[in-house]
Amino acid sequence: MLRALLTIVGVLELLFPRQLVEVGTKMAYESPEEFEIKPWVIPAVRTEGLIFLFFVLRGVVQDKWPTEVEAEIEA
């Protein structure tokens, strides 16, 4: 469940960062029109999406191929 949620959020942040920031700003502030998105926010949102996807994929790979330590414990 958590893996699926992180995958969805990661893909959305990677593909639609500006729209997500705008939606979040509208939800957080009563008058979001007064706020201006800083130039570093969109790349930061994309980076966060990549990090989420990295951890999801890392978890999938670790589930499929156990490390040497895990293999020794199982033996």
Task: Give the global pTM.
Answer: 0.74
**Domain that includes residue 17, residue range:** 2-74
Counted domains in the chain: 1
Give residue 21's pLDDT.
93
From first to last of its 75 residues, the chain has per-residue pLDDT tens of: 788 888 999 999 999 999 999 999 999 888 878 888 899 999 999 999 999 999 888 877 666 655 555 555 565
Give residue 17's pLDDT.
96
Q: DSSP 3-state assignment of 22?
A: helix
**C-alpha distance across the termini of the chain, in Å:** 30
* SS3 per-residue string spanning 31-74: CHHHCCCCCCHHHHHHHHHHHHHHHHHHHHHHHHCCCHHHHHHH
